[in-house]
Amino acid sequence: MASENVVELNDSNFDSVISAATEPVLVDFWAPWCAPCRMLSPVVDEIAGENVGKFKITKVNVDEAPIVSEKFGVRSIPTLLFIKGGEKKDQTVGLLGKAEIVRRLEALA
């Protein structure tokens, strides 16, 4: 479950939320059954809480958003997308440390 600073995205709201974002966006593709995803989730929530207004932090449950997951070729999770101006600028698969995630977001700012 995401914190109040994290936007839950799905197939119906993904494009509108991403295109409306003026700040760099982190998209965390995850699933409840994915152990590494559950390990990454508190880190993502922490980044969201510490960077309100600086970055938009979002999550996509791959089981509930197959169209978006397919669009970005998500085959393994957790997958993180780094988006600026509605365009994917970077993508990682697997666990990343908090500092590395923040560094990649700041590079887009």
The residues, any chain, with a CB within 8 Å of residue 75's CB and separated by 6 or more, are: none
Does the annotation count 74 as an active-site position?
no
Does the annotation count 36 as an active-site position?
no
Catalytic residue among 6, 25, 26, 34: 34
Beta bridge pairs of residue 82: 26, 90
- Describe the chain by its helix, strand, coil percentages, rounded to 5: 35, 30, 35
Catalytic residue among 9, 26, 37, 68: 37
CA atoms within 13 A on the CB side of 69: 20
- Residue 35 token pair: 């152990």
Distance, CA of 12 to CA of 16 (rounded, Å): 8
Residues acting as catalytic residues? 34, 37
